[in-house]
């Protein structure tokens, strides 16, 4: 992996205010190398340039780390990444927050297999990839996240059976999705929308936090 990529990652991590050890940063670079290596086989991303992968995939996913850490407060909880594809942001979260138990689910078998490959190759015992439709999952997860997966109404409806009591949804979106928020089921409440800034990318990003209405008084 090039020195440029390593320095770019380090600069991005500093810009995001994250404190990641050299070992964790190496794992992130090794993950990008695995995406590059297996991209032709697994069709993981349309991006081919490592520098683009760094900004559009790695740094973009890293914007979720600080908000999630504020929410979990260091607790060892189970996180489900829906429509994870090649593991974004799920693999990144598993690398940066080893206390989490992260499951990446995708309907494409090859992509779920790739996440399993990453877990083995990078020795990440807190990561697994499963090939399934999210609607079929019933194991409880405290946080269910997605990145560019589906509309907010579809996301919460499809994944509701996997949401633990007291759990929340964390959706990474582009522009503030006002129309999608309006279309949410009446018993789902948005309790926080926070802007995200991706180092090196001049794009709008935000994180939408949601929970079932019944849980809002908790």
> What mean pLDDT comes out for the span 31-40?
89
- Mean per-residue pLDDT, 45-74: 90
Of 102, 117, 111, 122, residue with least CA distance to 83: 111
Average pLDDT, the chain: 93
Could you read off the pLDDT of 141-187 as tens digits, one per residue? 999 999 989 999 999 999 999 999 999 999 999 999 999 999 999 99
> Is residue 216 scored above 70 in pLDDT?
no
Res 2: pLDDT: 64
- Return d(Cα 159, Cα 68) in angstroms, integer: 18
Q: What is the pLDDT of residues 90-116, one digit of tens each?
A: 999 999 999 999 999 999 999 999 999
Is residue 41 very low, low, confident or very high in pLDDT (cuts 50, 70, 90)? confident
Is pLDDT above 90 for 39? Answer: no
- In percent, how much of the chain has pLDDT > 90? 83
Burial class (CB in 10 A: 0-12, 13-18, 19+), 131: middle
End-to-end CA distance of the chain: 47
Kindly state the tokens that stand for 109: 């078998």
Mean pLDDT of 23-27: 97
Per residue in 5-19, pLDDT (tens digit) is 999 999 999 999 999
User: Tokens for 95?
Assistant: 């690398």
Is beta strand 141-147 parallel, antiparallel or unpaired with respect to 78-82? Answer: parallel
Give 159-199 as a DSSP string. HGGGEEEEEEEEEEESS--HHHHHTS-TTEEEEEEEEE--T
Instruction: Give the helix ranges, DSSP H, for the chain.
Output: 3-15, 22-42, 50-52, 60-62, 65-72, 90-96, 109-121, 152-159, 178-182
The reported pTM is 0.94
CATH no. of 63-217: 3.40.50.150
Report the percentage of the chain scoring pLDDT > 70: 96
Q: Tell me the per-residue pLDDT of 110-138, one tens digit each, with 9 for 90 and over.
A: 999 999 999 999 999 999 999 999 999 99
Reported residue count of the chain is: 218
Confidence of residue 3 (pLDDT cuts 50, 70, 90): low
Higher per-residue pLDDT: 38 or 208: 208
Pairwise pLDDT comparison (56 vs 103), residue with the higher score = 103
Per-residue pLDDT, 53: 84
Task: Report domain extents, the chain.
Answer: 63-217
């Amino acid at each position: 992996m090039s020195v440029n990529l390593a320095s770019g990652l380090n600069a991005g991590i500093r810009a995001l205010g994250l404190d990641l050890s050299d070992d964790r940063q190496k794992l992130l670079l090794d993950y990008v190398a695995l995406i590059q290596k297996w991209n032709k086989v697994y069709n993981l991303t349309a991006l081919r340039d490592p520098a683009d992968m760094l900004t559009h995939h790695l740094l973009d996913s890293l914007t979720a780390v600080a908000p999630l850490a504020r929410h979990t407060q260091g607790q060892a909880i189970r996180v489900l990444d829906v429509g994870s594809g090649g593991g974004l942001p799920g693999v990144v979260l598993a690398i940066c927050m080893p206390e989490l138990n992260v499951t990446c689910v995708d309907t494409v078998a090859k992509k779920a297999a790739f996440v399993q490959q990453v877990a083995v190759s990078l020795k990440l015992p807190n990561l697994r990839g499963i090939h399934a439709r999210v609607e079929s999952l019933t194991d409880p997860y405290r946080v269910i996240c997605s990145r560019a997966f589906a509309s907010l109404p579809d996301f919460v409806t499809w994944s509701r059976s996997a949401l633990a009591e007291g759990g929340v949804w964390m959706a990474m979106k582009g522009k503030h999705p006002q129309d999608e928020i309006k279309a949410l089921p009446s018993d789902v409440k948005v309790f926080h929308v926070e802007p995200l800034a991706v180092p090196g990318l001049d794009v709008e990003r935000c994180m939408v936090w949601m929970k079932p209405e019944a849980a809002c008084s908790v």
